[in-house]
Amino acid sequence: MKTRILKWMMTAVAASVLFVGGCGVQTDLAAEMPAGAQNVQENGAQSVQESGIPNVQESGAQDAGNAPETEGDLTVTFLDVGQGNAVLVESEGEYMLIDGGDREYSSFVVSYLKNAGVTELSYVISSHYDADHLNGVVGALNAFPCETVLAADYVTDTRVYDSFCEAVAEQGISLVYPSVGDVYEFGDAEFTVVCPDSYDYADVNDDSVGIRLVHGDNSFLICGDAGKASEEAMLESGILLDSDVYLASHHGSDGSSSAEFLEAVSPETVVISVGEDNSYGHPSERVLADVAAVGAEIYRTDLQGTVTVTSDGKELFWNTEPAAERGQGGNAGETASGGAEETETYILNQNTKKFHLPSCASAEDISSENRAEFRGSREELTEAGYEPCQRCKP
């Protein structure tokens, strides 16, 4: 059943040569298919059944023998864009931006990319058109020439979507609406589209374009705001999800990252891109508990700011430690357990009457006249009218 149906692929491509894209552009798929995508047939790990559903990949499909040879590094940066996503990936001097955060972070994303040395983008992936993902994508498209824009095949009537369409048109390129199983080469790495299996979901979050990025032995799963329905489709398709690093879909929402999905991904590390004290209650306690259950470490942009990891093809190197075990990243159930009587050092904000762990990023922002260091128990502080910070949960 491992026949590579090259002929089928050619027919499928020919059959859908012309269609009207969501931004109203006529897209010549055959012409737009970027070089990387055509390597689907070459790398042998991918095959497509007649149904168009990618062949179920047994774990052997990506075994060590098949792992692409790596020469350079791959760097993945999870930008702190508050309540939103923005991921910059670099390999061999090529850059890819996956989502760009909301409006107030758009110029931050553009200047971050400039400072990182970006002059052009090989890929931009717009997972879906929600504002907390799309605004910075528009900023980036207005600032840098881009070769290929992968996006979700649906339309919406927001201004930011119109701006996105204009920015794409301005570049003289067409959107590519990828299908599950499409493979793209990127620098020293490659990525496979893992979702969505359809662009007709009731919830546009489930239309999110998601990829599994592979660099040597290391892998990353990044699926926008994909929720339960899309996750179930991924699990059912049997596409390889197992990844070292998983960006928690939908900012750690309870509607994503089901226990079954987390088991299939079995990440070593989960990154949560989420706004401090956001009104959605992200990340959910259930997700944090299920992440803890699969034994993964957690990085959080709300607690740690921008987080960067570098792959040399064998190992991963993070720019910082995971969110501290104690009440920050892991199981909230551990928070303050039996800690009431213990003597600890806390940082106080005498103005807001909040207390923080010394490692809390919020503690750094306290002005010197309001800041005080306190050594003692939690109980003493609460009795004095202080409340624990929602961020570091001391």
Residues that bind Zn ion (CB under 5 A): 130, 132, 205, 225
The nearer residue to Zn ion, 45 or 152, going by C-beta atoms, is 152
- Is residue 60 classed as helix, strand or coil in its secondary structure? helix
Give the ranges where 88-196 is alpha helix by DSSP (H): 106-115, 131-143, 159-170
For residue 68 the two structure tokens come to 């692409």
Q: Decide whether 134 or 303 has the Cβ nearer to Zn ion.
A: 134
Tokens of 96: 């890819």
Q: Which helix (H) or strand (E) holds 374?
A: strand 371-376
- What is the nearest approach in angstroms of Zn ion to the Cβ of residue 208? 7
Question: Which tokens belong to 35?
Answer: 């070089």
Q: Does residue 99 sit in helix, strand or coil?
A: strand
Tokens 């329905």 belong to which residue?
Answer: 229
Closest CA to 394 of 362, 370, 366: 362
Q: Tell which phi-psi region holds residue 252, choosing left (phi > 0), alpha (psi between -120 and 50) or beta.
A: left
Tokens of 323: 């969110």
CB 128 to Zn ion: min, Å: 6
Which residues sit opposite 355 in a β-bridge?
A: 348, 388
Query: Residue 64 in 3-state DSSP?
Result: helix
Whose Cβ is closer to Zn ion: residue 130's or residue 153's? 130
Minimum distance, C-beta of residue 84 to Zn ion, in the bound complex (Å) = 6
Q: Which is nearer to Zn ion, 94 or 132 (CB)?
A: 132
CB of 28 to Zn ion, least distance (A): 30
Q: For residues 78 and 186, which CB has a smaller minimum distance to Zn ion in the complex?
A: 78
Nearer to Zn ion, 150 or 173 (CB): 150
Q: At closest approach, how far in Å is the CB of 288 from Zn ion? A: 18
CB of 255 to Zn ion, least distance (A): 10
